[in-house]
Amino acid sequence: MNAGVSAPPSGVVDLRVELAGVELEHPVLNGSGTFDAVAALRTFGDEVRERFPFSAFVSKTITVAPRGGNRPPRLWETPSGLINSIGLPNKGLTGFLEHDLPVLATLPVPLIVSVAGFSHDEFATLVQAVAGRSEVAALELNVSCPNVESGCIVGSEAGEMGALMRRVRPLTAKPLIVKLTPNVSEIRPVARAAEDGGADALSLINTLRAAAVDPVSGAPWLGAGSGGLSGPAVRPVALALTAEVAAATELPLVGMGGIQEGRHALDFIAQGASCVAVGTESFRDPMTGKRVRDELARELQCRSLRGVQDARLTSRAARSTS
């Protein structure tokens, strides 16, 4: 495993992981849409490449047609989180391939492109075009955006999930990671439908549906009426869903939701995740991913664990005897 990523010196924790066949130097990715690598590269150039905080980069979700996003206001801060109602602004497939992909391809880590369609045909168009590009290591199917009409339909119905996988799986051999929504009464049937349909990995959670009220007018604060909650407030929810999905499928999981420090990353790994993603905390400090990676290494070392796999197996054993 990981022949292409060099091993650390002996005695040092080995953070290398494989995610659906993609070799990664460590398990900390970014959550889609929470780190603008194109703007960072434009502003800081090589410094971004030299100190890149994540082991793989997940792009902001793209759609077939360009989108301007939702009406403002688009953000509301809660005491322990952030509600966003961004609404999927992006340059569209052609704009992405022409303008962003060549820039993202200069990052020093594998590139995962997040795509969302408003129909199975749109998903198919995106998967075919994006997977055909050699710069792309894997795709994330975003079936869980809370901020567009019908954005969650595929991700909240197992039948829809299965039908989507049947449509897109034959189009590429590249890894397909399905991003799950927490906004369901039962997440396991959706996860299993993705697995049965040939998904290579699952990522979770996308944001929790949420709303905020304008304190003066009493009207909904967010331009679109509601949004999605992320940050520390959702971490316990994300941990519970990660364990549920880990018990229901054999697929590798990318766990996320309110990760701010290495200890939180370790908690997701203990619940069954192979990798983790940092999202909201990167808005405060874009280098959070690197700090989480360093802190995770120390957490593993303190427990005499050799790496992520060791941590998962140890937690699984502890769970089965408790």
Enumerate the active-site residues. 145
Distance CA 175, CA 148 (A): 25
Q: Which of residues 243-302 bind ligand RRO (CB under 6 A)?
A: none
To ligand RRO, the closest distance from the beta carbon of 179 in angstroms equals 7
Among 58, 88, 239, 253, binds ligand RRO (CB under 6 A): 88
Between the CA of residue 262 and those of 16, 25, 233, 243, what are the distances in Å? 15, 16, 17, 18
**For ligand RRO, the closer CB: 5 or 75:** 75
Stretch that binds ligand RRO, among 80-88, 98-106, 209-217, 307-315 (CB under 6 A): 80-88
The dihedral region occupied by 45, where left means phi > 0, alpha psi between -120 and 50, and beta the remainder, is left
233 binds ligand RRO (CB under 6 A): no
Among 27, 33, 252, 307, binds ligand RRO (CB under 6 A): 33
Stretch that binds ligand RRO, among 43-51, 139-147, 285-293, 296-304 (CB under 6 A): 139-147
Among 30, 34, 55, 61, binds ligand RRO (CB under 6 A): 61
181 binds ligand RRO (CB under 6 A): no
Residue 302 neighbours by CB distance under 10 Å:
10
**For ligand RRO, the closer CB: 15 or 141:** 141
Between the CA of residue 299 and those of 51, 106, 236, 259, 294, what are the distances in Å? 22, 32, 20, 14, 9
142 binds ligand RRO (CB under 6 A): yes
**For ligand RRO, the closer CB: 22 or 141:** 141
Between the CA of residue 234 and those of 73, 81, 239, 272, 286, what are the distances in Å? 22, 8, 9, 17, 20
Site map for ligand RRO, 200-219, x if CB under 6 A?
Answer: ------xx------------
> Which three-class secondary structure state does DSSP give residue 24?
strand
143 binds ligand RRO (CB under 6 A): no
Rounded to 10 degrees, the C-alpha dihedral 122/125/128/133 comes to -110
- Residues in contact with ligand RRO by CB under 6 A are 33, 61, 84, 86-88, 142, 144-147, 206-207, 228
